[in-house]
Structure 1
């Protein structure tokens, strides 16, 4: 925990440094929101078939959705979304040929309903 999904335009595959952004994202989840480093999970989803704005080819997007256990204050949530947005800007190379929209959405997971089971490693 937490779970993050990063959806991005296929046209940005070379511009978005996914490993560096993932590391910065996980660091922010731990330092800003008090997440557990070993529980951070991020999935990158490339989209090659998007319709943005008027549909012209010069539009692109990166959207980050974070699912975090409930209980953080609005101030912590805002600080986290700002840190994630800053990391996105830092780890996305300039693409003057595209108008890139960056967005971050943070959602609470109900602590009473969320369940996780970790299967311990077995010696081989």
Structure 2
């Protein structure tokens, strides 16, 4: 915990500083949601095909960040975390005029059945 998944358009390429984003995001999760740094795990999943509206060929990049946190965070804490995430995406995805960025984030409570292990 937290389990963080970042789905993004592969066309973002080098315009998306994923390493810098993950470091900054983990810092935000520790500060806002009281997570332990060593518990932060982020999985980046690039999508080869994305569409925006009716435009399947346009210059659009979609980024969606999903957090899975143990239950107990307030709605205010979750909102602060998603707002911070969107700000970090503004800093770490640089469209430089060649694409429009569509970013979103959400926090979900992990199901009580959630378990993990490390080897």
Q: Which residue of 1 aligns with 2:118?
A: 118
| Stretches of structure 2 lacking an aligned partner (at least 5 in a row) | none
Contact 2:50–2:62, Cα closer than 8 Å, also in 1: no
CA shift, 1:65, in A, is 0.8
Q: Which residue of 2 aligns with 1:66?
A: 67
Rounded to whole Å, the distance in 2 between the matches of 1:117 and 1:96 is 43
Moved over 2 A (4+): none
CA shift, 1:94, in A, is 3.0
Contact 2:59–2:99, Cα closer than 8 Å, also in 1: yes
Give the 3-state SS of the residue equivalent to 1:87 in structure 2: helix
Matched, 1:90 2:91: yes
From the CA coordinates, give the structure whose radius of gyration is larger. 1
Higher helix share: 2
After TM superposition, the score normalised by the length of structure 2 is: 0.92
Rounded to whole Å, the distance in 2 between the matches of 1:24 and 1:8 is 17
Calculate the aligned-residue CA RMSD, in Å.
Answer: 1.2
After TM superposition, the score normalised by the length of structure 1 is: 0.89
